[in-house]
């Protein structure tokens, strides 16, 4: 996600620089400046020109500068007469652009899905590593407990054998004592 944000930020910065460059070029050439013209020549949307503070300020300043020096703001173009053939051509271009945008959207969607999947896998992997470490620690504790229990069992087995030997010798002594009594 950070890479996508960074790419988006760098794209916005590049568009802003391009639009401000167009404003400078139009001023140098003595051509009229308008928001739509800057957007068209910079290859950005008019929304971008109006909503990017640095670009908007540059366009307004240039328009004010032109107004002070006798050049009026660009007038809205007159609507030209369109023919059915030109409308069909525009429609074909629009359809082609829509298809390109859909392909781009699908590609970006796949990239986001892969990035999110990798992020989820990474989180799941971290949880698994932590769980494995917990299990290994618990296994070491149990192995230590088992070793101690075996040592205790060995000592108790030895004590049991000694106790049985003592009981056997006491029984033998008791039998001898009983036989010795008249």
pLDDT per position as a tens digit, 30-88? 899 999 999 999 999 999 999 999 999 999 999 998 888 776 544 444 455 678 877 87
Q: Is the pLDDT of residue 114 over 50?
A: yes
Mean pLDDT of the region 111-123 = 82
Residue 132 has pLDDT above 90, yes or no: no
Domain limits, the chain: 10-75, 113-182
Q: What pLDDT is attached to residue 4? A: 80
- What is the pLDDT, as a whole number, of residue 81? 62
Per the CB < 8 A criterion, the answer to whether 19 and 58 are in contact is yes
The 8 Å CB, 24+ separation contacts for 54-62 are: 54/16, 54/20, 55/16, 55/19, 55/20, 55/23, 58/19, 58/20, 58/23, 59/19, 59/23, 59/33, 59/34, 59/35, 62/23, 62/26, 62/27, 62/33
**Across all residues in the chain, what is the average pLDDT?**
86
Q: What is the pLDDT of residue 76?
A: 45
Q: What per-residue confidence (pLDDT) applies to 22?
A: 94
* Entry pTM: 0.39
**Does the pLDDT of residue 128 top 90, yes or no?**
no
């Amino acid at each position: 996600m950070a890479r996508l944000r960074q790419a988006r930020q760098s794209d916005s910065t590049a568009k802003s620089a391009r639009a401000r460059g167009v404003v400078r070029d139009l001023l140098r050439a003595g051509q009229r400046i308008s928001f739509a013209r800057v957007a068209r020549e910079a290859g950005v949307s008019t929304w971008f020109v109006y909503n990017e503070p640095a670009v908007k300020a540059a366009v307004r300043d240039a328009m004010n500068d032109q107004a002070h020096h006798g050049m009026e703001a660009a007038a809205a173009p007159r609507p030209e007469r369109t023919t059915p053939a030109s409308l069909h051509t525009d429609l074909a271009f629009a359809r082609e652009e829509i298809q390109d945008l859909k392909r781009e959207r699908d590609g970006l969607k796949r990239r986001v899905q892969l990035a999110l999947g990798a992020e989820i896998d990474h989180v799941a992997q971290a949880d698994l590593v932590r769980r494995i470490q917990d299990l290994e620690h618990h296994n070491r504790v149990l192995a230590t407990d088992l070793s101690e229990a075996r040592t205790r069992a060995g000592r108790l087995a030895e004590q049991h054998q000694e106790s049985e030997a003592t009981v056997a010798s006491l029984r033998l002594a008791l039998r001898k004592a009983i036989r010795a009594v008249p």
